[in-house]
Every structure is written in structure tokens, then in C-alpha cells.
Structure 1
Amino acid sequence: MTMKAGIVRRFGVVEIDDVPRPAVGEGEVLVRLRAAGLNRADVIVRDGRFPEQPPLPIILGVEGAGEIAEVGSGVRNLEVGQRVVLLPTLVCGSCEACQSGVDSRCRALRFLGEHTDGTYAEYLNVPARNAIPAPDSLSHTELAASILPYTTAWHMLVTRARLRRGETVLVVGAGSGVGSAAVQLANVLGARVIATTGTDGKRAKLVELGAHEVVNYRREPEFSGAVRALTDGLGVDVVHNSAGGTTIQESIHALRRGGRLIGMGSHSGARAEIDLYSLYRNEIEFLGAHAADSRELGDLLPLLADGTLRPVIDSTFALDDVAAAQVRLVSPDRFGKVVLSID
């Protein structure tokens, strides 16, 4: 049997083709995908810029949602027809990190769509632990747009940066999927939120999501000055940065003494020149984040299910229009997630 999928056979090009439908193995489920969320990682893998060279051909897609089409032997907690959202991290399940639910530190950590076939497809087989029963209150499109950005934002702000009620957080690049999720989450957690964005058109949207102040980094590329002015010269307690590149030094300058910078992603550049004195003398904590942990889902999913956190969807494309969807993904005026419909 075959299925339709968005596949990369040579770097730089993603094409829609008929490929063999995967078989379900022991401990696995076969998911009939209904939606796939686009991620910047998809473009990096497509273009051959992924730090670890992916195997070719590879089906792209880190994020997805659908329903169980088939259950493999040994699976007891899932059944055919059940709606699920996919956890993108593939882990060994047996190391100390996995046993404690700290997936991000598994030595065998891999991702759907980066190390193995992903969600730009009608069907995908995954370990049963990766198929998370989905709240009925969210559509497949909303599910595909939510699990990765919100778990990432939670991992960065709560688990790693230890954000506390009453603190002030700066979200750099707040119009992205993870950035818009971080704005909402920080506001829900009781923080004062300052957001940066490159267009005035996104200002009202960010305020609606919970930003208290918004700084246009195109008009003020040295945005730390504006941030300090908004905090009476003190700086913020936490910076959430998913942009990397030249924004890192400005993020350090925007922090108060003893502040925390949590970084994940490098869309504006994988390398940054840092003034080490600005770290040392101000006792800045520079924290890295890679992937969310499965233990965090229990805290996060109820907030999505009851509407406290609302997935931000920029646009939806058919699977056949994957090339246009990826163009939209990297558009400077995109706000929130781009999603493929696979119905």
C-alpha cells in the first residue's frame, strides 16, 4: 500500500510523492495524520543545513496530529480511532534520564522529521509513548500547532529559567510559533511580558496574547535600551530567546544583574559574538534548552484543553501545497504556526 508524503530526495527540494505506507511494529502505533505543523527545522533539514546529516530520502515534519489507524503488539493503552497528538522526541526509554521523564537528556535523543521520517504524510508509525491522547476541545489543526511550541516554551520558561510570578520576561522574536506561545504562557504564569517583533502589524496581536509592552527591533536593533527604559533602567529578570545570532548580546544587555537568559534556536544565526564581561560582571545565567520533557505534559495539556492557552495559527495549506507553506513559514510577516491539512 502507498501513501502521499512530502519527501526530500535531494537537498533543497521537497516534493509530494507516493511512497510505501509504513508497517506497524511491536510497541508501535500507526497514526493516520490529519494535520502537520511546520517548523523551521523542516527548512534546515530540507536544505541540508542540519548539524547531523539526515538520511535521504526523508519525509519532513516534526509536529502532527491524527488518529490511531492500527495498534502493534504489546500496546495496551491506545486503541484504533483514538485521537492523538504526537510527541516528536524519540528516546531509548531505558536510561536514567528517560526513567525520570527528562527526555531532553537521553543520550539517544532523536526527532521525527530530522533523524527519521516525519509528519508530512498520510500515515506515520511511532512508538506508543509518542502518541499522546488528545483533548477533544482542540481540532487536529490546533493540536498540530500546539504541542511543540507550548511544550518548548514551558521547558524554557518554567523548567529551565524558573520563571516566577511577578517577574519580568523579555520574549525575543515573539511572532514565531514558540515566541507567541512564550508570550501567552509567561502572562498566564503571572509575569510582566515585554515582546520584540519586527513589524508594527504584530503589536496588537502580541498585546492580545498577553504582552504588556512591545518593542520593534527593526526600528531599534539595539533593543536592550528600549527594554531598560521600560524597566526603569533595571533590566528584565528573564530573556526567552529563540532567535540566536546578534540578538544574544542584546539579550544579555537587557537583563538585570543576576538575570537569566534561556536560549533555544538560531534562526538569525548559529553563532554569536559575546562580551564575556557582560556575563561575568553582571552574574548572568546563560541557560540552554533543546527539547521538552514528557513529564511536563501533565502540567501543560490541561491549559490547552480548557482554552487558557490558545494555539496561534497563521495559515493552513493542503499537503500538495507544501512548497508554498514553507515559503510562508519563513515570511517576515508570519505570526504563529503554519499548518498542513492532510484530510
Structure 2
Amino acid sequence: MRSFHINSFGGPDSLIIKESEIPKPGRGEVLVRVRASSLNFRDLPIFAGQYQPTVQIGRVPLSDGAGEIEAIGEGVNRFRVGDKVVNSFFPNWFGGTLNTPPDQWVVHHDGWLTEYKVVNAEILVAMPSHMSFEEGATLSCAAVTAWSALAGVRAGDVVLTQGTGGVSLFAVQLAVALGARVISTTSSHDKAQTLRRLGAHAVIDYSTTPEWGDVVRDLTNGRGVDRVVEVGGPSTLPQSMKASAVGGEISIVGILAGYEGGVDFMTMFMSRVGFRAVTVGSRRDLEDMCRAMEKHDIRPVIDSVHAFDDAKAAIAHYGARNSIGKVVIQH
């Protein structure tokens, strides 16, 4: 079997391929023939050596994978040989409240940019039956994050999403499936067309309308939105608060727009908006989301699919930040 390993920090060129024997599953474990993996924003600081917690040299990268069970260890009842599976983002968070920092792929355990992988059967979930391996490999991080950010959204609610990153595109699709009305922001005509195709009811160009919070208010007859999937960070948060209804909630997902910017405390307090930090989700969240996607025939937006041997090119393509949808590596 072949696996990519981080040989040094600085970018995709630091990756090397190593060959090793295919491992055998022990008690409670399964051997997965990994068929696809995908990239997430967290992978860029990992390759650059800027991720916290610290990543060790030699780790296999990537947190999202999909494959099929090739062998089963003693005591495994969750799966059979041939089952198609995806992995949970956190190997040891199965459900309930997250009270302590969980383990992470690449940080505490080797990731999924490999041809075979032995894992505890408990970290796996059945892949949605209508998806290909390439589609299934996009779910573990971005899709579950979107699902968690929308927790509690009901039919008739209004949801605001930002941009066309992986989390935001999944959030549009899932919010529409939940019966919500979606308002999205973006910066280009082509991206706006993608958002409308996925079900967004209105799209605002934030590059020409920097005060887009006011436009959101107008689109909701002055009421504001019930939920914001906040991926920008400090520079977009003021507009998100302006766009929110009294009693609404802002799910804080990321800082894609950078660390600069600030929010006045009294503005936050007087907004009467709830703020909730989202940390991807548990195995139970992944299971619930997969069932919803299967029921509503939701398919991930995929920008491009690259061969395993072209993994470095895939990472460079994703790092250019010009993709719309997930960048996938086919194993």
C-alpha cells in the first residue's frame, strides 16, 4: 500500500509517498480500502506548519475519506465486508456534549491520504447509498459543520450564508431541505448562479454592497434572519449582527476573511442575538446528516477530482482558493 506523508512544512511539495505492508485489523477494528479523500481549509495551515495543535512530521494528511470495508477484526458487528463507509471527523466523539478537546486526524492519528487504513469500527458511518465514493469523501468536515451550524432551524426560518466555501454550499443545500428560506452573499456572478441553483432565494454581492446587513433587513421586511452561518470572522460579524433578527442566532464557524476587524461589546449585547461556536460535529451528527442527505437526494458540489498520484497538484489547486465546491482525490 502507498500513503502520502508530511516530510516537512511549507506546502504540498513537502509530501512524500511511502510504501508499507497492508495492515491487519485487530479486535474491534476494520480494514478500509480508501477510495477517495477531500481537502478542507484546515489542511492549508497544516501543510504550512501553522496549525494548532502542532502536527508532527511524518503524519498522513487529510481528515475526510470514503471507502469500503475489506476485512473485519474480532468482535465487530457494525459492518460487513463490502460496506461503503465514511469516517467521523473526530475519532473519539460519538455523540452528546463536547466537554473536552477530542482527538483529531493528522494531529493525533494519521489521516486519510492513503490506500488502506485500519481504524476502530466505531468511528465509521454508512455512506449515503446514492453517493459515489468521491461524493462521500466530502462529508466528514464541511458538511457536518454546516449541519451543526443549522441545528434547530425549522421550516419557515430564514438562514443567511456567506460565500461559496464548502461549509457554505452545504449549508444552503441543507437549509433548503429543512424548509428554510436562504439568503446568501458572494462576490461574483458565476458564484451567485451556483448559489441560486442550490436553492438560495436571494444572493447579495458583498463586493459592491459592503453594507449587506441592511439589504438582508430589506429582504426580510425589516425583521432579519433567524440563523447566520458565519464563516468570515471579525470583519463580517458586524454585518451578520445587523442582518439578524432579535432572538436570532449566529453560528460561528470560521475566520475565512482573516483576523482583522472587531466588534463593540455593547453592539453585541444590544443586538439580542445568540452566538454559538461550532466545532464540526460528532458521529451521531454525521449519521443524522447522512440520513437527511439520502432522504432529500442531496449531492455535494465537487469542483474537481484528481488522481492519487496527482495529490500534490490537487492541494495546490485548492490552495489557490479559486475552486467552487470540494476538491477530491481519487484513490
TM-score by length of structure 2 reads: 0.92
- Residues 16 and 10 (structure 1), Cα distance of their counterparts in 2 relative to 1, 3 Å cut: closer
Question: How far apart, CA to CA, are the structure 2 residues paired with 1:22 and 1:42?
Answer: 25
CA shift, 1:23, in A, is: 4.6
Q: Which residue of 2 aligns with 1:188?
A: 177
CA shift, 1:325, in A, is: 1.3
- Residues 81 and 298 (structure 1), Cα distance of their counterparts in 2 relative to 1, 3 Å cut: closer
Residues 135 and 305 in structure 1, CA contact (< 8 A), matched pair in contact too: yes
- Give the total of aligned pairs: 328
SS in 2 for 1:268: coil
CA shift, 1:154, in A, is: 1.4
Paired amino acid for 1:18: K
SS in 1 for 2:271: coil
Residues 245 and 267 in structure 1, CA contact (< 8 A), matched pair in contact too: no
Q: Which residue of 2 aligns with 1:74?
A: 75
Q: Which runs of 5+ in 1 are unaligned?
A: none
Write out per-residue CA displacement over residues 196-243 of structure 1, whole angstroms, 9 at most, x where no aligned residue: 112211111111111000112222233213222322333222111123
CA shift, 1:113, in A, is: 2.8
Query: Once structures 1 and 2 are overlaid, which stretch shifts more, 35-44 or 251-260?
Result: 251-260
Paired amino acid for 1:152: T
TM-score by length of structure 1 reads: 0.89
Query: Once structures 1 and 2 are overlaid, which stretch shifts more, 252-261 or 28-37?
Result: 252-261
Q: Which residue of 2 aligns with 1:110?
A: 103
Paired amino acid for 2:160: L
2:146 alignment partner, one of 153, 158, 168: 153
2:161 alignment partner, one of 167, 171, 175: 171
Q: Which residue of 2 aligns with 1:238?
A: 227
1:308 alignment partner, one of 287, 297, 305: 297
**Root mean square deviation of aligned Cα:** 2.0
2:198 alignment partner, one of 202, 206, 209: 209
CA shift, 1:22, in A, is: 4.4
Write out per-residue CA displacement over residues 262-306 of structure 1, whole angstroms, 9 at most, x where no aligned residue: 011222225651111221112111111102122234432223224
CA shift, 1:340, in A, is: 0.3
1:127 alignment partner, one of 106, 120, 124: 120
Q: Which residue of 2 aligns with 1:18?
A: 18
SS in 2 for 1:182: helix
SS in 2 for 1:178: helix
Percent of aligned positions that are identical = 34
Question: How far apart, CA to CA, are the structure 1 residues paired with 2:206 and 2:232?
Answer: 12
CA shift, 1:323, in A, is: 2.2
Write out per-residue CA displacement over residues 303-337 of structure 1, whole angstroms, 9 at most, x where no aligned residue: 32245322111111112222221232244432111
SS in 2 for 1:261: strand
Question: How far apart, CA to CA, are the structure 2 residues paired with 1:135 and 1:256?
Answer: 35
- Residues 298 and 40 (structure 1), Cα distance of their counterparts in 2 relative to 1, 3 Å cut: closer
Q: Which runs of 5+ in 2 are unaligned?
A: none
- Residues 216 and 115 (structure 1), Cα distance of their counterparts in 2 relative to 1, 3 Å cut: farther
1:222 aligns with 2:199: no
Paired amino acid for 2:18: D
SS in 2 for 1:10: coil
- Residues 196 and 64 (structure 1), Cα distance of their counterparts in 2 relative to 1, 3 Å cut: same
Question: How far apart, CA to CA, are the structure 2 residues paired with 1:135 and 1:229?
Answer: 39
